[in-house]
Structure formats: structure tokens, C-alpha cells
Structure 1
Amino acid sequence: MGYMGTAILNISPYAFSAVGIAVAIGVSVLGASWGIYITGSSLIGAAIKAPRITSKNLISIIFCEAVAIYGVIVAIILQTKLQSVEQAYTAESMRGGYAVFASGLIVGFANLACGICVGIIGSSCALSDAQNSTLFVKILVIEIFGSALGLFGVIVGIIMSSQVTWTTS
């Protein structure tokens, strides 16, 4: 076995679990903040031409914020999967640690992509609403479909972590 394989097998499964949980919440919040940045800057710019769009287009900011909430929910779910065990380096514990790690990665990066997607669509929603108010609902429907990407990541993460068990003896 190479150096990397040896190193990976000698890292505690709890360390992998902790990194997975941190990635789930951290990268999800990064995706939400990036989406809010994209949407908010366009919303403020477009509100100069049409101040009426400001309150109506805050729904795009809420969609971006939901991405961070997805990460928090999954991090809480993953945290409840951890248990204290005497022997951390059993096959079952290693599998559980890797499953929590992979679940956190999937949720975090799915929500990163979702946040950017919702931010870009929210930006175009604000800009187009400033030009033509009849486009708001049509683009909002597209934004809802973009928001579903984060939910898919959450579902996959929950499914991956549902069978996590730790050796208790």
C-alpha cells in the first residue's frame, strides 16, 4: 500500500466525520453567501431604475438563504450519527466515518452549486423585472427549479448517511 493509502487508513474516522460535517455547513454557507452577493448587487443596481422591485425581489435572497439552512440541517443530522466507541479503527467505524465525510462533501458542494445557480437566476430576475414586470413570475419559477438542486444534494446526503453505524464493543 502506498503512503497515501496508509495515511488515509490511519486517520481516525471521527476526523473524517468532523471534516465532512464542517464541509456540509461551511460550503453550503459559502454557496448561500455567493448567491446573495450576486443577487443583492443586481437588485440594488436595478432598484435605481425601478424602486418597486426591491421588496418583491427579496424572495430571491430568501431562496439563497435556504441553501445555508440546508447545510445546517444536514450538519445537525450528521452530528447525531456520531457515537463514542472504544475501537475507532474497525471496518464498520471506518465505513461510517467515510460515509459521513462523503455525505458532507456531497451536500456542501451541491449547495455551493445551488447557491451560485439561484444567485445568477435571482440576479436576472431583478434585472428583467426592472425592465418588464410581467417577467417576474416566469423567472421565479425557473429559480425554484434551480433551488431544487440543493434539495437533491440534501436527499442524497441523508440517504448516504442513513446506514451509518459504529462498532460499540
Structure 2
Amino acid sequence: MADSSSLSTALIKISPYTFSAIGIAIAIGVSVLGAAWGIYITGSSLIGAAIKAPRITSKNLISVIFCEAVAIYGVIVAIILQTKLESVPSSQIYAPESLRAGYAIFASGIIVGFANLVCGLCVGIIGSSCACLMLKTPHFL
């Protein structure tokens, strides 16, 4: 069992650039995972429903596009976070301001990534529901 002083010492000794890079990677990776999950949910329902009613295929492609927009949003936020990184002299890498900036970019990446994961999942469920509804109600859209 590690005590809190050794954990805080370990966190302070890790470069803020490492935390920033991990946060940016999480923003992209988890956003793309959420979009892929949403596309999978929508696509599987859409394929199944399109067997009985081929007319709904083109109308429900917008759900897949919305899921792709979630991934694009994650990439855009990752690019914005990347532009926030600034080069500092090696003597100031572990300064409190640098550590705070690294932790902030890390936290931003985690928040954006997991928000996009949930968003992709919700968009996929709604797209799946629309595909099933359009199968039962021909004049829905």
C-alpha cells in the first residue's frame, strides 16, 4: 500500500508534457471509440430494418453522419489542446505553472473523450430507434 506522499511525489516527477500527450490521446481515442460504437449500434439496426424496408436506408444515413461528427469533434478538440502546448526551458518544466497546465490539458482530454463516448452511444441508440420507428411507420419522415 503506497502512502499519499509517494504518490504525489511520483505525479510531480512525471513530465507535464507526458500528461498533456496522454490527455490528447484520450480525447482522440475515446471519441473515435464512441463514434464507432454509435455507428455499430445504428448500422446493425439499419441493416436489419433495411431488409424489410429498403426505403429507410438513405433516410437513416444521417444517424451515421452524426456519429462521425462526434469523432471529428474529438479530433478538433485534440488539435486545439495540442496548440495550447508551449515549449518551456528545461529548468522550468517542473514549475507549478507547467504542472498545472499539463494536468489541465490531461483533464480536458479525459472530459472531452468520455463525453464524446457517451454522446456517440446516445446518438447510436437514437439512430437505431429511428430506424426501427421508420420500419413500423412509413410516413415518419
- Alpha-carbon distance between aligned partners in 1 of 2:120 and 2:22, rounded to the nearest angstrom: 21
What do the CA deviations read for 1:37-62 (whole angstroms, capped 9, x no partner)? 00000000000110000011000000
Number of residue-to-residue matches in the alignment = 136
- Alpha-carbon distance between aligned partners in 2 of 1:83 and 1:133, rounded to the nearest angstrom: 55
**2:101 corresponding residue in structure 1:** 96
**In structure 2, the residue corresponding to 1:2 is in which secondary structure?**
helix
Percent of aligned pairs sharing the same letter: 75
- Alpha-carbon distance between aligned partners in 2 of 1:109 and 1:12, rounded to the nearest angstrom: 23
Displacement of 1:83 after TM fit?
A: 1.2
TM-score after normalising by structure 2:
0.93
Matched, 1:21 2:24: yes
**In structure 1, the residue corresponding to 2:86 is in which secondary structure?**
coil
CA RMSD across the alignment: 0.9
**1:54 corresponding residue in structure 2:** 57
Displacement of 1:135 after TM fit?
A: 3.5
Task: Give the structure with higher Rg (CA).
Answer: 2
Gaps of 5+ in 1: 137-169
**In structure 1, the residue corresponding to 2:102 is in which secondary structure?**
helix
TM-score after normalising by structure 1:
0.78
From 71, 74, 81, give the equivalent of 1:71.
74
- Dislocated runs of 4+, deviation >2 Å: 133-136
Displacement of 1:111 after TM fit?
A: 0.1
- Report 1 or 2 for greater relative contact order, CA contacts < 8 Å, sequence distance ≥ 6: 2
What do the CA deviations read for 1:123-154 (whole angstroms, capped 9, x no partner)? 01101101103445xxxxxxxxxxxxxxxxxx
